[in-house]
Structure 1
Amino acid sequence: MSPLRLLFLALAIWGAVHPMAYFVSWFSENGWSLGAMLEAWHANAATSGLVWDLTIAAITLTVWILAEVSARRNWSALLAIPATFLIGVSCGLPLYLFLRTRPV
């Protein structure tokens, strides 16, 4: 495996673990309520802006993945879509790059 692929894999793992630690900490302090989490994400203009920034990035990444998968037939790359929406762009993007750069 190339050093670049290893870097993408390491970034995908970091992008899954690091943000999730904050989410789990927040849920343990505030209860397991997605509604309360959404409220916290829109607590002020700065957090709302960040949420929209990440949402637009996630949608853009999804469109890119779908376009490339239809052209390249790299079906495993579709795994990056649920990773993006269930974990975050910080996991989904490097995971997609890891899957995209595998030898065909």
Structure 2
Amino acid sequence: MAKFYLVLTLFGILLPYGAFIPWLIAHGFAVDLLVHEAMINPISIFAWLDVLVSAITLLGFITVDGYRHQVKYRYFALLGTLFVGVSFGLPLYLYLKEKQYQKMQIQT
């Protein structure tokens, strides 16, 4: 599973930024235009609110579950969620947790 999560982590950063970087090159860092285009119609608002709720849920989950299971480097998943998104933070956290689980299995 670790390799699967790692591949998804890579996709989770490459795909969103693959779409965002061309927009950024074309328009620069125009926050007002970004917000306007992101909220241009009800379906895009739906998608952003879905992502927002998912991100808040994931941040809470990583914080609590990561503390409970003492997942090393969990703060990278928190930062990844904040700066990239759920598509990066979730598989990264699952990768970190899986690697820790595998290490514990070897030790026992």
Instruction: State whether TM-score is above 0.5.
Output: yes
Distance 1:65 1:97 in 2: 9
Deviations 1:23-45 (A, max 9, x none): 11111122222232122110110
Structure number, greater radius of gyration: 2
Aligned Cα root-mean-square deviation (Å):
1.1
**Consecutive unaligned residues in structure 2, runs of 5 or more:** none
The ranges of structure 1 where at least 4 consecutive aligned residues each deviate by more than 2 angstroms after the TM superposition are none
Paired AA for residue 81 in structure 2: T
Aligned counterpart, 2:7? 10
Aligned counterpart, 2:82? 85
Aligned pairs, number: 101
Distance 2:35 2:77 in 1: 23
Report the secondary structure of 1:91's partner residue. Answer: helix
Note the C-alpha offset of 1:75. 3.6
**Consecutive unaligned residues in structure 1, runs of 5 or more:** none
Paired AA for residue 29 in structure 2: W
Which TM-score applies when normalising by structure 2? 0.87
